[in-house]
Structure 1
Amino acid sequence: MIIILLIVIAFILWKIYSQEERPIKSKATKASPSSTKRGSYSPSLSSRKRENLSHLQLLVSLAMSDGVLDKAELKFITHIAVQRGIPEDHFLAIFRDPTIISYVPPSSDASRLINLYEMVMLMMIDGDIDKNEIYVCVATARKLGFKAEVVSLLVEVLIKQIAEGIAKEIILRDLEKRMRA
């Protein structure tokens, strides 16, 4: 019952955000017949779309890692989905079962940093940083391709700078410098 309610809320938020920001003009790509298998969702999608779906999948998993999907977390995930042009049917499918697609890592360093930034933002959005969320965030940063020895530092720096209200662009530039050093 709770899952159905969350899916309905996610659908409503998706509709609201998609009308406010930028409506998706193209028809949503339908899942292939094999999409009911785990990790096989829409293999015909472009690599960029699969990267975006993978990021959404990681955000959903992170939000649920503390056992509670907060309204602010759901709103943030919905905003990211609409911003990245994720069709409604894909969005809802990932909420129903985040394991429905195989993970596709970001193709650029800039995308990796943005994804990590958005994960830390999501982790902090409910005002309660849970140790399970930190663990998932650090593990995901490794999955994104960040070196194990710098992952904890990157997450720590992100938490501090976001809490201080530093602008996203400044934070991302700082992280890029730290990565090159």
Structure 2
Amino acid sequence: MLGYYIGCHVYPFGNSSLLTVDLGQQYIDFYSYFRQTILGHPDQFLYSFNKALGGDMLGVFAYYLMSPFNFILLFFPKSMLDTGIVALTLLKYGSAGLTMCYYLKSVASQVGGCPHCQSVMRYRGGCSPISSISCGSMPSFSYLWFAQRWTASIIIRCATACCWH
């Protein structure tokens, strides 16, 4: 994905941006608020006057901001939040591919000498990135749910392990 971002001139490698649709109109403000709350105003975690005339923020945090990957944004200054989102996105893609590689390796070792599984083992380096970018996981369409892509392979692995034992 890094090569793709460089080739498509996505910021910071060019003038294109990942901040489209909901990511640029809604989530960027949530990520900025996340940074502000964690780094300077932890009292805003539960309640804030930034929400309309004031309101409960726990739901916003639980629904939009509780991914452990979001903590990478703390290493980027507010002025470079868009660069942090590129790094965050690349980390999410990499994690989804890595966990799929783990799943394919564990499944192939479970079924042993199956010829189809042996071919999967040979090509898992290609299957993993394909898996991470499949199923509408492009950031502009489903960025919120993309954060959970890396857990899917682990959950499926646990479910298959339960079925095989």
> What TM-score do you get using the length of structure 1 for normalisation?
0.26
Q: Which has the larger radius of gyration?
A: 2
More helix by percentage: 2
What is the TM-score of this pair, normalised by structure 2? 0.27
